[in-house]
Amino acid sequence: MKGYGGKILNVDLSSGNVTLEQVTEEMARDYIGGSGFAVKLLIERSVPNGDAFDPSNPLIMAPGLFNGFPVPTGGKVVFCTKSPLTGLMGDSVMGGSIGGELKHAGFDALVITGRAANPCYLLIKDDQVEIRDADDLWGLDVPSTATKIKNMEGNVRVACIGPAGENLVRFAGIDCEDRQAGRAGTGAVMGSKNLKAIVIRGTRDLVPHDPTAMMQLNLEMVGKMTESPDYEADTKYGTGEFLDWINSEKGTFPTRNWRESVFEERKEIDPYYWAPKYSKKNKACFSCSKPCGKLFIIESGKYAGLAIDGVEYETLYSLGGACGNGDIESVAKGNEICDAMGMDTISAGDVVAFAMDLYENGIISEEDTGGLELGFGNSEAELALLEMMAKREGLGDTLAEGVRLAAEKIGKGSEKYAVHVKGMEPPAYDVRGIKGMALAFMTSTRGACHLRTCAYALELTGKFWKFKDVDRFSYEGKGTEIKDMEDLVVVYDALGVCKFSRGYFFASGFIDLIKATTGSNYSEEDILQVGERINNLKQLFVLREGMTREDYVLPEKVTTMPIPKGESDGHMITIEGMNKMLGDYFDARGWDENATPTREKLEELGL
Residue with smaller CB distance to other proteins, 214 or 530: 214
Using an 8 Å Cβ cutoff, are 125 and 105 in contact? yes
Separation between Cα atoms, residue 272 and residue 356, nearest integer Å: 28
Instruction: Report, in Å, the least distance between residue 511 CB and other proteins.
Output: 20
Q: Is 120 helix (H, G, I), strand (E, B) or coil?
A: strand
One-letter amino acid at 127 equals: D
Exposed/middle/buried for 362, CB within 10 Å: 0-12, 13-18, 19+?
exposed
Using an 8 Å Cβ cutoff, are 68 and 53 in contact? no
Residue 452 is given by DSSP the state T
Q: Tell me which residues touch other proteins (CB under 8 A).
A: 68-70, 72, 97, 104, 143, 177-178, 203-208, 211, 214-215, 218-219, 222, 225-226, 235, 281-291, 293, 295, 307-309
Separation between Cα atoms, residue 190 and residue 168, nearest integer Å: 9
Residue with smaller CB distance to other proteins, 306 or 372: 306
Instruction: Report, in Å, the least distance between residue 106 CB and other proteins.
Output: 12
Quickly list H helices, 68-141. Answer: 98-104
Instruction: Report, in Å, the least distance between residue 233 CB and other proteins.
Output: 15
What does the angle CA 35 – CA 165 – CA 409 come to, to the nearest 5 degrees?
105
Instruction: Report, in Å, the least distance between residue 204 CB and other proteins.
Output: 7
Q: Shortest CA distance to 50 belongs to which of 15, 87, 19, 77?
A: 87
One-letter amino acid at 407 equals: A
Residue with smaller CB distance to other proteins, 97 or 520: 97
Separation between Cα atoms, residue 139 and residue 163, nearest integer Å: 6
Instruction: Report, in Å, the least distance between residue 467 CB and other proteins.
Output: 29
Residue with smaller CB distance to other proteins, 291 or 562: 291
Residue with smaller CB distance to other proteins, 69 or 510: 69
Instruction: Report, in Å, the least distance between residue 126 CB and other proteins.
Output: 11
Contacts of 344 (CB under 8 A, 6+ apart): 171, 172, 173, 180, 182, 183, 184, 185, 338
Residue with smaller CB distance to other proteins, 250 or 283: 283
Sign of the dihedral through C-alpha 304, 310, 311, 315 = negative
One-letter amino acid at 564 equals: P
Residue with smaller CB distance to other proteins, 22 or 203: 203
Residue with smaller CB distance to other proteins, 74 or 479: 74
Using an 8 Å Cβ cutoff, are 330 and 379 in contact? yes
Distances (CA, A) of 117 to 114, 161, 391: 10, 17, 22
Pairing of strands 7-12, 18-22: antiparallel
Instruction: Report, in Å, the least distance between residue 220 CB and other proteins.
Output: 11
Instruction: Report, in Å, the least distance between residue 124 CB and other proteins.
Output: 16
Instruction: Report, in Å, the least distance between residue 191 CB and other proteins.
Output: 24
Instruction: Report, in Å, the least distance between residue 291 CB and other proteins.
Output: 4
Residue with smaller CB distance to other proteins, 178 or 584: 178
One-letter amino acid at 360 equals: E
Residue with smaller CB distance to other proteins, 5 or 423: 5
CA contacts within 13 A on the Cβ side of 176: 27
Q: Determine if residue 421 is left, alpha or beta; phi over 0 gives left, psi from -120 to 50 gives alpha, anything else beta.
A: beta
368-376 long-range contacts (CB < 8 A, ≥24 apart) are 368/395, 369/394, 369/395, 370/394, 370/395, 376/256, 376/257, 376/323, 376/324, 376/325
Instruction: Report, in Å, the least distance between residue 384 CB and other proteins.
Output: 24
Residue with smaller CB distance to other proteins, 3 or 402: 3
Separation between Cα atoms, residue 202 and residue 241, nearest integer Å: 35
Residue with smaller CB distance to other proteins, 85 or 149: 149
Instruction: Report, in Å, the least distance between residue 35 CB and other proteins.
Output: 22
